[in-house]
Amino acid sequence: MKKLSTHIFALVLGVVMAFGFFRVSSSIADPAPRLSQAPETTTLAQNPAINSRSFVAQAVANTGPAVVRLDTERTVANQLSPFFEDPFFRDFFGNMPQQMPQERQVQGQGSGFIIDGGGMILTNAHVVDQADKVTVTLQDGREFPGEVLGTDRVTDLAVVKIRERVPNLPVAPLGDSSQVVVGDWAIAVGSPGGLNNTVTLGIISTLDRSSAKAGIPDKRVNFLQTDAAINPGNSGGPLLNERGEVIGINTAIRANATGIGFAIPINKAKELKDTLAAGREVPHPFVGIQMVDLSPEMAKRNNDNPNSTILLPEVNGVLVMQVLPNTPAERGGIRRGDVITEIDGKPIATGEEVQRFVENSGVGQNLQFKVLRGDRTTTITIRTEQMRDNV
């Protein structure tokens, strides 16, 4: 009897252990992601169906409804060929040119996102610049007339407002682009090619990519670079982090490459949105020079060339290639061939540093440029002015 009791005890113990091991193994093999790794919004926490989705689906569910499509129209004057002004042509064909339409309608399309309950929308300036008509289409298909409150071509930012009062508008949560690091997730949302609510996924490839190095020298922005697919029509749409917060505004792609896109950091948009919404001009100081970086090695190669027309100082600095007419630089006395080595006593080694120094100085400020001209060193005072559209 004792022997039988021992066997029964062993059998029960084995079942308990087997059940325990089975439970542990199931826990280890469970492939479901742990959502606690990323912060949840109130909406997500209240919806168990969403909680089982990927972080991309959660991010888009959080912010996607606030992304809009912007359709624009503007009137463009037709430029008649000089051929039509030729007297022989007029004599032969009569008054045909006068019968041709003098204007035409140009349509455009882009994206944007709502940033407050009053219908304020952030987008790119090139999406809505000079638009006579803007139509805002929400994710649910509703259309409303929009009004361009302000644009800034230099940063490629614009603010549009829905003209009608629309209750319960979805609003995109704005993140902090200063906290973004290389390798972070990047989710692009927009309407490329008119395909509404298109989502692509990638990472942040580089921070602080200057507009000059991005191939957009007429802008003054340090971009977030991403490999998330950005296509025509994505312009003005949001670049999201893994929590669905807007960290950038998609604005451009590299034409000669694949998987290289650029977004304006959202902190730059936060800085300028109130100025744009009020219709005020964004200050952009400038001096009016075209320049290239100079190193001792580059200068030596130039000086060793018997066909070189100028001898350059073999130093680190910025070489002035051209002084634009009727600009502060021309009035201050900067000349082509000058090498800038300091501004207000601070060493300068790159054109980006010159641009950043001028941009941060403000309009109407006197800057002291230390330049090397031939074998002489001189200091030139230049008073910054507001950048003009034709510069």
Residue 27 covered by a domain? no
Are 221 and 243 found together in one domain? yes
- Residue 96: which pLDDT band, with cuts at 50, 70 and 90? low
- State the pLDDT at residue 17: 39
Residue 7 covered by a domain? no
Are 104 and 142 found together in one domain? yes
DSSP category for residue 35:
G
Give the alpha-carbon dihedral of 325, 331, 332, 337, to 10 degrees. Answer: 30
- Domain count of the fold of the chain: 3
Angle formed at CA 130 by CA 125 and CA 134, multiple of 5 degrees: 80
- State the pLDDT at residue 3: 46
**Which carries the bigger pLDDT value, residue 187 or residue 194?**
187
Q: Which residues are catalytic?
A: 126, 156, 235
Residue 58 covered by a domain? no
- State the pLDDT at residue 194: 78
Digit-coded pLDDT (tens) for 147-176: 999 999 999 999 999 999 999 999 999 999
Digit-coded pLDDT (tens) for 217-254: 778 889 999 999 988 888 999 999 999 999 999 998 87
Are 109 and 183 found together in one domain? no
* Residues 187-194, mean pLDDT to the nearest whole number: 88
Residue 170 covered by a domain? no
Domain stops at, among 162, 186, 207: 162
Digit-coded pLDDT (tens) for 44-93: 345 555 566 899 999 999 999 999 999 999 887 766 556 555 565 555 55
CATH number for the domain including 247? 2.40.10.10
**Which amino acid is residue 38, in one-letter code?**
A
**Which amino acid is residue 330, in one-letter code?**
E
Long-range contacts of 86-89 (CB under 8 A, 24+ apart): none
Are 301 and 353 found together in one domain? yes
Residue 29 covered by a domain? no
Q: How many residues does the chain have?
A: 391
Range of the domain at 258: 177-277
Give the residue among 315, 299, 380, 378 at the shortest CA–CA distance from 347.
315
CA dist 88 to 94, 95, 101, 246, Å?
Answer: 10, 12, 21, 60
Give the residue among 273, 283, 222, 226 at the shortest CA–CA distance from 113.
273
Are 270 and 291 found together in one domain? no
Digit-coded pLDDT (tens) for 299-349: 999 999 999 888 999 999 999 999 999 999 999 999 999 999 999 999 999
Digit-coded pLDDT (tens) for 25-49: 333 233 333 333 333 433 434 555 5
Report the b/e string of 237-251 with b at 16+ CB within 10 A: bbbbbbbbbbbbbbb
Residue 38 covered by a domain? no
Are 209 and 147 found together in one domain? no
Are 73 and 152 found together in one domain? yes
Residue 200 covered by a domain? yes
Are 158 and 188 found together in one domain? no
- State the pLDDT at residue 193: 79
Are 243 and 306 found together in one domain? no
Mean per-residue pLDDT over the chain, rounded? 83
Domain stops at, among 104, 130, 162: 162
Percent of the chain with pLDDT over 70: 80
Are 289 and 273 found together in one domain? no
Domain stops at, among 136, 162, 188: 162
